Amino acid sequence: MELSVAIGIMIPFIGTTLGSACVFFMSKKMNTFVQKFLLGFASGVMIAASVWSLLIPALDMSVSFGKMAFIPAAVGFILGILFLLFLDETVPHMHLDQEPEGRQSTLKKSTMLVLAVTLHNIPEGMAVGVVFAGMMMGEHQISLTAAVALALGIAIQNFPEGAIISMPLRSEGMSKRQAFVYGTLSGVVEPVASIVTIILSQFIIPVLPYLLSFAAGAMMYVVVEELIPEASEGKHSNIATIGFALGFVLMMILDVSLS
């Protein structure tokens, strides 16, 4: 079981690493068509995962509240949104579709890009950690397969983010190896956040529904604030919409059929 959990929490990090490795195989940047599809697909996966892997289990764990069973899910979800809003406003970073202003040095641009993606990876790592924690605690609403499905969905979303860091840095004059390292480092926070969440969850079992919905709110913030606007901007926005639909349906099928 411990090996399965260890592998599971590393899956999103692997997605970031593979995306960063695009710098070794692509001469300039990721094809816009492919990037839009992946961003849309990832958005659909994350929203479906937030509902079926996080919010619904949180509601099921709160049946003892009776007609007020929505309270943990609602409170946790709002807190997750507010937490990401706070980070977004206080931590200096660039949005994924934002170009740096003025003559910023390559180092400053690199730092801002890494901070942007790292900021997004925090709630994703928490989401994976809290789902695996629930599974380890024996919560029947969360299966190993469902937890792995969530990790895979986040890994898919991390793939274009890794490329978004490494490939622009390469075009700015960095070596392929340096650009790859920067992209990979942005994903290190995910397994760390997962491990910390798992450790804390073992001591605060009663608030697990709040943690699940908190992770859902944080993930939803990332999707609405960053992924969907970027996927909808410019050409091929219709491809992003198709990707969203496919990602949502696929994640829904996995969560329902494999849980």
Among 6-10, 82-86, 100-104, 163-167, where is mean pLDDT lowest?
Answer: 100-104
Q: Which of 186, 177, 171, 44 is nearest to 114 (CA)?
A: 186
Q: What is the pLDDT of residues 145-200, one digit of tens each?
A: 778 878 887 887 788 778 877 877 777 777 888 889 888 988 898 999 899 888 88
Q: What is the pTM of this model?
A: 0.75
Q: What is the pLDDT of residues 209-244, one digit of tens each?
A: 888 898 889 889 888 887 888 888 877 789 999 999
Say yes or no to pLDDT of 251 above 50: yes
Amino acid 4 reads S
